[in-house]
Amino acid sequence: MRLGRIASPDGVAFVSIEGTDDDAVTKEIAEHPFGTPTFTGRSWKLADVRLLAPILASKVICIGKNYADHVKEMGGEAPDNPVIFIKPSTSIIGPEVPIVRPPSSERVDFEGELAVVIGRPCKDVKASAAKDVILGYTVANDVTARDQQKADGQWTRAKGYDSFCPLGPWIDTTFDPSDVQLVTELDGEVRQRSRTSLMLHDIGAIIEWISTVMTLLPGDVILTGTPEGVGPMVAGQRVSVTVEGLGTLSNPVVDKQ
């Protein structure tokens, strides 16, 4: 099942998305998408609504240094355990919403990633049971003010600006993330290309590690790391992240006025 959030003439709603392309239809979910969704009976053509970020997370937990080639390009060493940091929920935006470059940064980078969405409250999850707590998967862009990341020595400011966590276009609850291609394009030019099978720490290990530290809640989002090829974006450009079999997330880039 593909789950999403939409803005329609009737308001904002969680929906299931059925069909493809021009024939796709969104069916309104009553209350929330967790567990076994129930439906209100209302529906809209996908072409007649606007896709929002598919979930509004209470927290976004990110994994750094999870692809060896990215670790190498950043001049570091591969970690023995997952490196975690948090982006605020206010950094989340949906498809086609502009990424806003702050005037305080001279270099804002794209980082295409696969994201995991948590489906139920959980703590101390074993890697072997991680599938039981996952709602599904979506596409993410861990936007980073690279100069501020280097200057600060920690990542909160550089990763935390409003609009620095694009998510979408939807959540796929049956997606198999074990070995799929991830591609990031800037103005149609491929800048990142890798496979999820090259993660240093797989999704089960990531969830086990994070959940020993903090309770995960329904709708929480985990960004699983970015491969080699990160680079700067400037106003007027468009960045698109595609996860094979899952979808494409595209956002224009603007400067803050």
Structural domain spans, the chain: 2-52, 60-255
pLDDT in tens, 103-162: 999 999 999 999 999 999 999 999 999 999 999 999 999 999 999 999 998 999 999 999
Better pLDDT: 69 or 199: 199
Residue 81's SS3 state is coil
Is residue 7 predicted with pLDDT exceeding 80? Answer: yes
Residue 99 near residue 256 (C-beta atoms within 8 A): no
Query: Above pLDDT 70, what percent of the chain?
Result: 100
Residue 91's SS3 state is helix
- Give the ranges where 97-221 is alpha helix by DSSP (H): 146-152, 156-159, 203-213
Residue 226 near residue 195 (C-beta atoms within 8 A): no
**What is the pTM assigned to this prediction?**
0.96
Confidence (pLDDT) at 22: 74
Confidence (pLDDT) at 21: 73
Distance CA 210, CA 220 (A): 12
Distance CA 100, CA 162 (A): 8
Taking every pair of C-alpha atoms in the chain, what is the biggest distance, in angstroms? 54
Q: Which CATH architecture has domain 2-52?
A: Roll (2.30)
Distance CA 236, CA 218 (A): 36
Residue 26 near residue 43 (C-beta atoms within 8 A): yes
Q: Residue 110's CB: how many other CB atoms inside 10 A?
A: 28
| CATH class, range 60-255 | alpha beta
Residue 173 near residue 3 (C-beta atoms within 8 A): yes
Confidence (pLDDT) at 77: 81
pLDDT averaged over every residue in the chain? 96
Distance CA 75, CA 73 (A): 5
Residue 141 near residue 239 (C-beta atoms within 8 A): yes
Distance CA 7, CA 193 (A): 32
β-strand partners of 194? 182
β-strand partners of 113? 140
Cα torsion 45, 28, 140, 184 to 10°: value is -20
Distance CA 114, CA 137 (A): 7
Amino acid found at 9: P
Q: What is the mean pLDDT of residues 177-201?
A: 97
Cα torsion 62, 64, 68, 69 to 10°: value is 90
Is residue 54 predicted with pLDDT exceeding 80? Answer: yes
